[in-house]
Amino acid sequence: MSGTIVIAMQRNGELLTSSFEAITAARGVKEAGDTLAVVIVAADPQSLAGPLSVGGVDEVIAVRASDDFQPDLIEAVLDDLIGQRKPALILVPHGVDAWSFAPATAARNGLGFSTDVLALRREGGDLVATRAGYAEKVLMDIDFPGKETVLLTLRTNVFEPAAGQAQATVTELAAPSADIATKHEGWKPPADAGGIDIPGAEFILSIGRGVADEANVEQFLELADKMGATLGCSRPIADNGWLPKARQVGQSGRLAANCRLYVAMGVSGSVQHQWGMKHVENIVAVNTDPEASIFSIARYGIVGDMFEIAAELENHF
């Protein structure tokens, strides 16, 4: 058992940045003499092989198939590679696509397995991964005794994307014959934002579950307006239809790409929400729960009632 395989992910023929993050993670635990291979399944995998030849990649395994995401096909590719190459480690970005195929592959092949890993190291030769538990309140160091192959999915936006040209060999691999049970039928882009621009906003006031009732939402729209902020929200608010999806910040919503000041009121700070805003330089958290994970990434914290603070805040603008 040796060598690491990274599964690079693409969407519509474009590589996802998380693929390069996984290469960095792989390089960090690579042992002397080990090889690092990156697998890419795409309609034109050769064209993606060059860009993937970075950061210590020894080989790009190019599998010519459709650009459509087909879990059955990626699983068949992985089953073959596990059988033939017996890799010690397989790394996959913990994106939505990986949710479909990584657990299936791990379970069927009896692999060592963990998901949403946010740190990876060697300790006396053992591979030790760190992941969070109990809604991010604790961390766990985990290992994989007796497992010859370990498959891990990696939290995105944690590892620096790999850079630096490598001289990878490109191996073209025929797509295995797999029974494909899914078919891509099209895309449904996010609903029209109606002028709401979370990615472009420099100042966002964001509300979460703490707002408790649809009738309470209006006052925060008014407050945001008065302060010159764009009103954002966490997922439950959009799921309930209290605010349009275009205002949702987080993994399945929007990235607050240009935000410099993010005031989060009644937002607990789930991983999915943090995905969209934790990079913001100035985060202010207002929450009645002092243990809410939002406080661990905030620059300023107010342990208090969002309605009281909002009512007082209004007097200053």
Give least dist CB 56 to another protein, A.
26
Give the N- to C-terminal CA distance of the chain in Å, as an integer.
64
Applying the rule CB under 8 A, the residues between 25 and 84 that interact with another protein are 69, 71-72, 75
| Cα(254)–Cα(251) distance, integer angstroms | 7
- 192 phi/psi in degrees, rounded to 5: -55, 130
Give least dist CB 189 to another protein, A.
6
Q: Which of 29, 147, 161, 176 binds another protein (CB under 8 A)?
A: 147
Give least dist CB 33 to another protein, A.
26
Closest to another protein by CB, 113 or 220: 113
Q: Which of 14, 143, 172, 222 binds another protein (CB under 8 A)?
A: 143
User: In one letter, which amino acid is 101?
Assistant: F
| Cα(84)–Cα(68) distance, integer angstroms | 25
- 247 annotated as a binding-site residue: no
Q: Mark residues 166-205: x for contact with another protein by CB under 8 A, - for none.
A: ---------------xxxxxxxxxxx-----------x--
Instruction: Confirm if 316 and 297 have CB atoms less than 8 A apart.
Output: no
CB-count burial class (<10 Å; 0-12, 13-18, 19+) for 228: exposed
Going by DSSP bridges, is the β-strand pair 10-11/14-15 parallel, antiparallel, or unpaired?
antiparallel
- 272 annotated as a binding-site residue: yes
Applying the rule CB under 8 A, the residues between 75 and 134 that interact with another protein are 75, 94-97, 99-108, 111-116, 128-129, 132-134
Query: Does 213 interact with another protein (rule: CB under 8 A)?
Result: no
Sign of the CA dihedral with 73 first, then 17, 142, and 55 last: positive
Give the tokens for residue 284: 């202010």
| Cα(216)–Cα(231) distance, integer angstroms | 13
Write the DSSP symbol of residue 247. G
Closest to another protein by CB, 171 or 288: 288
| Cα(138)–Cα(118) distance, integer angstroms | 13
How far is residue 295 from each of residues 46, 230, 234, 264, 281, measured CA to CA in Å? 45, 21, 16, 10, 14
- Kindly determine how many residues on this chain lie close enough to bind another protein according to the rule CB under 8 A: 96
Closest to another protein by CB, 45 or 112: 112
Give least dist CB 23 to another protein, A.
19
Applying the rule CB under 8 A, the residues between 232 and 291 that interact with another protein are 235-236, 238-239, 245, 248, 251-255, 260-261, 263, 271, 282, 284-286, 289-291
CB neighbourhood size of 97 (10 A): 20
Closest to another protein by CB, 34 or 72: 72
Closest to another protein by CB, 59 or 113: 113
Closest to another protein by CB, 141 or 172: 141
Q: Which residues carry a binding-site annotation?
A: 209, 234-235, 248-252, 266-273, 287
Q: Which residues carry a binding-site annotation for FAD?
A: 209, 234-235, 248-252, 266-273, 287
